Every structure is written in structure tokens, then in C-alpha cells.
Structure 1
Amino acid sequence: MPLDPERAYRAVASRDARFDGHFVTAVRTTGIYCRPSCPAVTPKRGNVDFYVTAAAAQAAGFRACRRCLPDAVPGSPEWNLRADLAGRAMRLIADGVVERDGVPGLAQRLGYSERHLTRVLATELGAGPLALARAHRAHSARLLIETSAMPFTEIAFAAGFASVRQFNDTIRAVFAATPSAMRAAAERRQRPGVAPGTLTLRLPYRPPFHADGVLAFLAARAVPGVEQVADGTYSRALRLPHAAATVHVTPQDGHVECRLRLGDVRDLGSAVNRVRRLFDLDADPCAVDGLLASDPALAPSVAATPGVRVPGSVDGAETVVRAVLGQQVSVAAARTAASALVTALGEPLCTPDGPLTRLFPNMEVIAERAHEVLTGPRRRIDTVRRVAAAMAEGSVDVHVGRSPEELEAELTALPGIGPWTARYVLMRVLGAPDVLLTSDSALRKGAGRLGLVSDVDGLAARGGTWRPWRSYAGMHLWHAAALPITSTDRRSA
């Protein structure tokens, strides 16, 4: 979406934090780019340019402000809203695809030529894939410099730089400081109590944030051995591109604390990106709540639970399998089936981390052996194996860079997968903000408890007024379904 310079400048003049992450402000007289809410003196309108991404500002020769740290803000919610090529590319770049597979690998995943991809990104975002990946590497390097005791040589290669010289040059160009100076500054403000080998990060979000809702959603579905919710913390074993990892996420005021134990530090950026997507930390709750509160039936729920998020996914293939296990059964039954798979087929962690002892089974193993573990209708077991086999062989590829329409078509073409499952995957894996699962029994129950029509057609018609945030409206309906039954509910039953 093109930036409106006048609107952007008004946001900067008022230091409006709601726009942090949507764009950066570059001041020509200082050569610095900042977040819109930077507390520095407001620059004159004639001295500033606005860029959609930090990479574009860096490519234009600007360095990051050391006071407001513009890369340490929530990402733009636009990347979840946009299903076009630029939006899908940004999601993959944030997951570290360029560092692992290069621009050719990125283009192949997106289904376009390198030349076309570069042209679209330069036009839409002001920077090509290499510049965008460079900004991603700089951010990952900063995290490692400030949160670990790793030697800078190791950090350079862990963050994806081709050489130590490239690492040093990039850090100086982007942050106007040497790695040594950045680490010294971080040590002066470091908090004690961090366990050796653990990276502790503060991941920002835009308030309000209904963290209890996310934790309750994840707790109801948590598979023992792989994940746990206890004492306000979500813990999870992760299968990352280079190695396994564990993460503990604790929502706090203004940020979530993320404690990572990585098997390979090259996975840092990917791990952070997946946690952000799981907790929907880049959402714009003011925009969502503002629209949903305009519906009288939803307004009380929005007022009671502002900042509702749509939980995402840390592993697309796993989410598909678990969605299939959840077809036409309760959440508890789906969790029991997933637990059986993990107990029998899950890969043990080399170093268990408290309650985290296993990874969710890979697709090859599920395709070969799920029938030995799962109980219930043969048709459902065959569907699980068929879907796992399709993902294992690559005929169905589930990742954050997929086109929603293409992924939905691929999934529904598989026997045994219906519209509910496919659209649930779009909502969780792609972060699609406008999915309303009208056939979901719990969602329809919640609609009835809020005084809305609860039949499929009627709910679909009413949901048209909630565009483009129907996924968030659905979370309010699910929340209403889980509330304790009141005397009013009994009288109306």
C-alpha cells in the first residue's frame, strides 16, 4: 500500500506509536532513520523521506537511530494482510529463506523468476530481496551481539553474513557503531539471572494484547512432551531449519519475554519470526477492535477482551496434520490423537528442557506409521497418512509464502480434507486475518451466546460486516463459547 507522505508526517509530528513498524522516517540532514514515535526533536517536513521498510532506508544510505532502535518494533501488520507477491516474499525473508537458499530459492518457493521478484519488491518496498535480507541479517546480528557472549566471528556466520568483514561493514553502516561498542552498551543495561546457553529476548507488540486468550487457546491444544502452558508461560519444542530448539514465552507489559535455547544459532531469526507469528505480535489491535466494536453484538466482548489475537503456527505441516485430526471431533479428542502420535513417533530431544522432551513427528514417519498408532475411523487415519505423504514428497507445500487461494485448492483436492480444515490452516499458518469458520460448532455456539444468528448462512451474512477482520471476530465467538454458562443462558436454552 503506497505511503501517504502527509499522513505519515502527521504521525511523526504527534509521535504516534501506533504507526511504529508501518514505516520508517529518514531525516536527510542527519542521515538517520527512526520509528514514527521517536522521542527526538521532530524534523522539518522538507527534511524527511518515508520508507515502507528499514531495508529501503538503508539502501538509500541512512543508518538506524540508536535512541529509538527502529528495528526493535513490531513488524508491519500489512505482511499478514497482503497475500500478493511482495507480502508473501516478506514473510519468507523474515523466516530466513534467503540466508538458507539464496534469492533463487526464494523465487522458486514463490513461483516467479528472480528478475520479476526483484522488480516487484523494488517497486513495492523500495528494496530488492538482497537488501531486505541484509536488513534481516543486521537485525539478527544485533540480537546476538546484545544477548549472547558469542564471539563476533561466530555471530557473523550465524546471522548469515558471508564474511566477518561484511558483518563489520554492515553493522557500522546500519547502526553507526562497532559490534564491540554495541555489546558494551548492552552489558551496561543487561539484567542478571539469564541461564548460560539461553538467549533472552524482549519481543514488542502493539497494545492492547489479550495474552490470556492466546495462552488459553494454546493450553487447550497443548500436546504433552512438545508444548506446555504453565504459570503464564508457553513452552514449546521447535523443529527449525538447522536444528531443534526450545522456547519459553511469557507475556509481560509491553512485550513478551522469549527465552530460546537453540541447537544452532543460525536459527535465531527463524525462531523469533515463528514466535511472533504464533502470538500474532504484529497485529494492529486498534484497527481490529475499532471495526469489531462497531457491531453492537460484539462490542461487549471487545470491551471485555481488547487486543484479541489469532494464534498462528510454528510449523505448517504439523498444523495441517493436527487440523485433520481435529475434523468433526472435540479439541480434547484431537489433542489425545496428537499426543498418541508424539508418544509413539516423536523424535526425542537430544537435551530435554523440563517438560519438553520430543519434537512432533516428521511427515515421512507419520505417512508410514500413523496407522500403527491412531485409533478411530479408518477413513480419518487414511486421510492423515495421505496428507502427510503429500507434504513429505512436496506435492503439497505448506509455508508462510504460499498464496492462500493456491494452498486452499491444493488442500481441498486431497480426499478427506474439507473447507473447514483448509481455511483453518490459512488462518493459523498464513495468518490470514479474514477467515470466518462458519461451519465450526463451537464458533456457532459462541455466536448464539452473543445474540447473533448461529446458522451457517446467517452467520456468513452477518460476518460480511466484519471484513477484513473476520478471523478476529471468530476468536471473540470462540471465547464466548468457552465462557461459563449463566442463568441467562439457561433461560434462553
Structure 2
Amino acid sequence: MAGRFAPRTARPALPHQAAPAVRGTGSATGGAATSTGMATSPGEALPLSREWTPPFPLDLRLVLGPLRRGPADPTFRMTPDGTFWRATRTPEGPGTLRVAARGDRVGAEAWGPGAEWLLAGLPTLLGADDDPDAFTPHHRLLATARHRRPGLRLLRTGLVMESLIPSVLEQKVTTDEAYRAWRLLLRRYGTPAPGPTAALGLHVMPDARTWAMIPSWEWHRAGVDAKRSSTILRAVRVAPRLEEASSMPFPEAKARLELIPGIGPWTSAETLQRSNGAPDAVTVGDYHLPGIVGHALADNRHADDEEMLTLLTPYQGQRHRATRLILLAGRIPERRGPRMTPGNIGAL
């Protein structure tokens, strides 16, 4: 899963990704266009909104990119005009957040019961609590990457389950298989996101009870084996306790998540990178990352986890940031074999 944090060039809108309507003003009950650029339906509530001026350079694509689980993620969209949409389940209920850069400011609108919670946490989400100055590059590649990406900040969602469940789905399978499972399960068991999101196809992740009620054959149809589905079921039974990890220091949060059988260092790191903005949550056990780090720092494309951690020793406390910069530098070893063929247990 190492390549998911690399920036991608904008693609043409997919069929379900409608282009924003002409900007304007209008009543929320009259079906006119609002300042969000999307048409409201009769009876639809107007959004809450706020603006925030970050005291540092900010690249929304780099910061919010790790939340995207594939090009058709039902919880995340980036429209051609550079606007980001995020549907999530907050402690206050479902919410939709729209974020866009407005010069040196960031404008945001939010809908649903979780709107206030999302807007209150906007600076934290966009890296206000991150401290990139704590990172000192010891390799020219990393120094160059940091210089070229001044807008990189480590996000912090404050939400554990929304990152934990898709991370479990990504265990031991290809990214395409994991993204397909996430997409199918959310579209079937999630709820439509609040706000003017119908044209975007956004859905809010199911709550813990709904996850627990998904029958075994539906996991199978989505291509999720019993080991991964059982891990998710164990996690959702103690979801409130796992959510507490979002406010814990990294070692304690990691230990809390790994108490669940089936959640190991790889899954806990992938989760806490997003929920806690943990700068030292290096992904151990990844199929590609050791070779990428080894190739970038020591010209060794065959490095294993132990060698990767040795190479990252100078960055102790900032190892996740170091790997992000390595991925953004683009020095990836050339592929020398065929891609792994995705499986499909749902067809069995």
C-alpha cells in the first residue's frame, strides 16, 4: 500500500462525478445554487461554514490525499476545481465536509449532525498540530523532497474506526481488491452523506452496530475472507474503546489497537497515521515500502523491514514523515515482474 500517498494528476470526472454548478446564491428551500457550487434540493438545510488562514504553506492534495481509498471511494472526492469532499461519521453523527483553498485561506462548509464537530476540527485535520520543523533531513533526497513540498502536513482526523476498518480490508491483498471491498460494503450498508452529495455518490461509513450485523455471505461477495471480516467484527464490538486511542500518545494508542487479534503493527500504523497524525508510525510489514526506502537511501531494492528500520534510524520520531517524503520524491525501483493477479473469493 506504499504508493497511495504519492500525488496523482487530476483525472477527468467519472460519470458519477458531476461538475459543480454555476456559483450563486439562493434559498435552501427553492432548489437554487448555493455558495458551495452545488444545487440544493427543496427543504435541504444550508451548510455551516468557516474560513481558516493557515500560518504555513498548505497543499490540500498532499494533506488530504491519505484519506482517499481508491479512485471511487464513497467517502472522498476531489472535483476538477480542486474542491475536496469528505463524508464521515463523527461522535455527533454523520457529516459531510467540503474544503477548498481560497487564496491564502481555506474555506469549508459542513452538513449534517456532525457539521459543527467537523468545522471545529478543521485546523487539526489540515495539520495545525503537526510540527514539520522537528524533522531534520540527513539525506539529499529527503532534503530536496521537503524543499519541493513545503505544503506537506500530516493530517489528524481524531477518528479511529474510519481508518481502521479500511486498513484491515487492505491486509494481505492488492489495493484494487481492498478498494473494491470498501466501495461495495459502504454503498450497500452506509448511508447517503448529508448535504448536496447525491451527484457525487458520497456515503457515510456504517456505525458499529451495522458493521456487526453484516451477514457472512455479504463479506464473501465483497471479496473479504473470514480472517479480515472476523478482525473487523472484533474491533467494532469495542469501538468506543478503540476511538479513545485518537487522544493517546502513539505508543499507548498502538498498544490499544494491537490488543485486538488480527490487528498488528502494519494495521495499527496505517490507522494512526491518519487518526492521530503520528509522525513516527512507520509502516512495518508492507510488501513494497522496504524496497522503496532501501532503493532511495541505499540503492538496495531488496531491503527488508529490518534494513528499512536501520536506514530510518536517524529519523527516529519522524519515520512516517521520512517515508512520505521518500514516496513523494518519486525514486521508486523499476518493476521487474508481473503485477500480482487479484483474487475474487466472491466468485467462488
The reply to whether TM is greater than 0.5 is yes
Higher relative contact order (CA closer than 8 Å, sequence separation 6+): 2
Corresponding residue of 2:188:
344
Once the 2 structures are TM-superposed, how far is the Cα of residue 271 of structure 1 from its aligned partner?
A: 1.0
Q: Deviations over 1:37-70 (max 9, x none)?
A: xxxxxxxxxxxxxxxxxxxxxxxxxxxxxxxxxx
1:227 aligned to 72, 76, 79, which one?
76
Tell me which amino acid in the other structure corresponds to 1:372.
Answer: W
1:479 aligned to 310, 315, 328, which one?
328
Q: Is the 8 A contact 1:245 1:262 kept in 2?
A: yes
2:141 aligned to 289, 293, 297, which one?
297
Q: Is the 8 A contact 2:158 2:247 kept in 1?
A: no
Corresponding residue of 2:217:
372
Q: Is the 8 A contact 2:312 2:319 kept in 1?
A: yes
Q: Tell whether 2:342 aligns with 1:470.
A: no
Give me the TM-score of the superposition, normalised by structure 2: 0.71
1:240 aligned to 68, 71, 90, which one?
90
Pair 1:378–1:239, CA change in 2 (3 A): closer
Shifted more, 376-385 versus 403-412: the winner is 403-412
Q: Is the 8 A contact 1:244 1:262 kept in 2?
A: yes
Once the 2 structures are TM-superposed, how far is the Cα of residue 459 of structure 1 from its aligned partner?
A: 1.7
Once the 2 structures are TM-superposed, how far is the Cα of residue 484 of structure 1 from its aligned partner?
A: 8.6
Tell me which amino acid in the other structure corresponds to 2:154.
Answer: V
User: Secondary structure of 2:246's partner?
Assistant: coil
Once the 2 structures are TM-superposed, how far is the Cα of residue 193 of structure 1 from its aligned partner?
A: 4.3
Tell me which amino acid in the other structure corresponds to 2:211.
Answer: I
Q: Tell whether 2:266 aligns with 1:420.
A: yes
Corresponding residue of 2:104:
254
> Distance in 1 between the 2:331 and 2:279 partners?
27
Q: Cα RMSD between the aligned structures? A: 3.0
Q: Tell whether 2:231 aligns with 1:387.
A: no
> Distance in 2 between the 1:235 and 1:320 partners?
20
Once the 2 structures are TM-superposed, how far is the Cα of residue 288 of structure 1 from its aligned partner?
A: 4.5
Tell me which amino acid in the other structure corresponds to 2:236.
Answer: A
Pair 1:227–1:315, CA change in 2 (3 A): same
Once the 2 structures are TM-superposed, how far is the Cα of residue 438 of structure 1 from its aligned partner?
A: 3.6
Q: Tell whether 2:118 aligns with 1:271.
A: yes
User: Secondary structure of 1:239's partner?
Assistant: strand
Q: Where in structure 2 are the equivalents of 1:47-446 lying within 5 Å?
A: 193=35, 197-221=46-70, 224-231=73-80, 232-263=82-113, 267-268=115-116, 270-285=117-132, 287-288=133-134, 291-292=136-137, 294-313=138-157, 315-349=159-193, 352-353=196-197, 354-369=199-214, 371-374=216-219, 375-391=223-239, 394-446=240-292
User: Secondary structure of 1:435's partner?
Assistant: coil
Q: Is the 8 A contact 1:236 1:356 kept in 2?
A: no
- Which structure has the greater CA radius of gyration? 1
Pair 1:352–1:258, CA change in 2 (3 A): closer
Once the 2 structures are TM-superposed, how far is the Cα of residue 366 of structure 1 from its aligned partner?
A: 0.9
The number of equivalent residue pairs is 288
Pair 1:370–1:252, CA change in 2 (3 A): farther
Give me the TM-score of the superposition, normalised by structure 1: 0.52
Q: Is the 8 A contact 1:228 1:234 kept in 2?
A: yes
> Distance in 2 between the 1:365 and 1:273 partners?
27
Tell me which amino acid in the other structure corresponds to 1:456.
Answer: D
Q: Deviations over 1:274-330 (max 9, x none)?
A: 433333233233x146x12x4223122223223322233353112111111111223
Q: Deviations over 1:101-125 (max 9, x none)?
A: xxxxxxxxxxxxxxxxxxxxxxxxx
Q: Is the 8 A contact 1:243 1:262 kept in 2?
A: yes
User: Secondary structure of 1:450's partner?
Assistant: helix
> Distance in 2 between the 1:197 and 1:403 partners?
37
> Distance in 1 between the 2:163 and 2:172 partners?
16
Which of the two has greater helix per residue? 1
